[in-house]
Amino acid sequence: MICREVANAVLRYTDVAGQISEETVPGLMMPESFAPAFVFGRLGSELTMTLETNVNTLWKYNQAARGSNEPAPERLRNQRVDLVLYQGNSPKKDEQELFALIEFKLLTLDLRDREKLRNILNDIDTCPNGAICSVLKSDLDLLLEEKQAIADGDHWYRYDVPALPHSNTERFSVCARAFQRRPQSHQK
């Protein structure tokens, strides 16, 4: 669902921005922040989510769920997550559980962000999932990327962006690597 909406974001941005020259492509012209904001707007009536969430805020939710008020470690205080998904039956976000932390990338599968999220998930241990969602040129070896994701124990999702409007000929796919929090080897 999120990959589909990111593909729609690329289409919408290209439609509004117009012709994109050979020197620029939607992933370079479209601001990275447009993708999560578009997803937020399109899926916000179906899912509870927040944009550009400070990890310190997530720490507070995590501590409340644990019945603690321990301050966040310094290493977490200046980090942000592009999109946070929540789950639960309450209409109030602070009464729902954390479900997934998502980072968005344009034209790259940046595995440093995967490690960043995995490290955050070690501290925000009430959130079970993370994902990196990337807009990639379709001429990359996406099958090789899929095999690597699966070999790393991740789930792989791909949604091809339909032909872009105007005279744009570049083809893109939205790919996501979703993963679960590492099992804890010790109790906190």
Backbone angles phi, psi at 164, to 5 degrees: -75, 150
Task: Give the HSE-up count for residue 56: Cα atoms under 13 Å, Cβ half-sphere.
Answer: 8
Predicted confidence (pLDDT) per residue in 90-125, tens digit: 777 777 899 999 999 988 888 899 999 999 999 999
pLDDT at 23 over 70: no
Q: Which runs of E-coded beta strand occur in the chain? A: 48-54, 80-87, 97-106, 129-137, 155-160, 172-180
Q: How far apart are CA 131 and CA 113, in angstroms?
A: 9
DSSP code of 184?
A: P
Three-state DSSP at 134 gives strand
Instruction: Measure the CA–CA gap between 74 and 39, rounded to whole angstroms.
Output: 30
pTM of the model: 0.89
Q: Which two tokens stand for residue 74?
A: 């310094």
At 147-184, the pLDDT tens digits run: 999 999 999 999 999 988 887 788 899 999 999 998 76
CA 19/CA 11 separation, integer angstroms? 12
Q: Which two tokens mark 145? A: 């990327």
Average pLDDT over residues 45-64: 92
Q: Which amino acid is at 99?
A: F
The rounded distance, in Å, linking the Cα atoms of 48 and 84 is 8
CA–CA gap between residue 95 and residue 167 (Å, rounded): 48
Express each pLDDT in 123-157 by its tens digit. Answer: 999 999 999 999 998 877 899 999 999 999 999 99
